[in-house]
Amino acid sequence: MSTEPDISADNDEIARRSIGARRNPASQEAILDAAQAVMQEGGIAGFSIEAVARRARAGKPTIYRWWPHRTALMLDVYKRFKNARSFPDSGSLRSDLISFLEDHLLGFWQGSLCGTVYRAVVAEAQTDPEAAKVLKAYQAERLAYSAQMVDRAKARGEVPAATDGELIVDLVVSYAWHQLLLGQIDDAIARVPTVIDTILGGVRGYRE
């Protein structure tokens, strides 16, 4: 176990220690704070492991041990914001999906650092296999969790038991991704009810 401090900005930070491949929570939060600050000040173009290390006063080996490339670190910063938002549970699948698309996807990205970061992660995943692997794992986790909205609707009898919840969510998310990448979020928000009604219209037996 290393006895070198990961962070040394002041006396309190001397207590932070690396614990091998396992992340030290205090050091992790300090690095994520620094990463967020670098993004906010310099945008994606100015974001790098080196810049974060300077800001956090952390060693680059520590950051690379926990985040093997900048995409993984960007995605973890993004997840800090995303994970703080609970999924809608209104008792109506239509209402839940509208809220999910309007507030948790498009609205979350609209005019914010979050949208910029996620667009950059998607872009890097097109040419970097490791970035694609990180994004795919994150999406699989979110997809399974989001599909619970449809599972609750099944339990209420709103949709047939055979309804593919992950497919429905994937269709909703695909629409959101397309609008994010094209920079059309403002116009897309106005069409949210129509999009959800169109998707649900294809679910045989759906009723409000």
Stretch 59-72: mean pLDDT: 91
Q: What is the pLDDT of residue 206?
A: 62
Q: What are phi and psi of 33, to 5 degrees?
A: -60, -45
What is the second-level CATH architecture of the domain 11-67? Answer: Orthogonal Bundle (1.10)
Contacts of 32 (CB under 8 A, 6+ apart): 73, 76, 77, 80
pLDDT-derived band at 18, boundaries 50, 70, 90:
very low
Q: What is the pLDDT of residue 80?
A: 84
The full set of domain ranges for the chain reads 11-67, 80-201
Instruction: Give the separation between CA 102 and CA 169, rounded to whole angstroms.
Output: 13
Q: What is the pLDDT of residue 75?
A: 92
Q: What is the pLDDT of residue 15?
A: 34
In CATH, the number for domain 80-201 is 1.10.357.10
pTM (two decimals): 0.78
Whether 8 shows a pLDDT value over 70: the answer reads no
Q: What are phi and psi of 5, to 5 degrees?
A: -70, 140
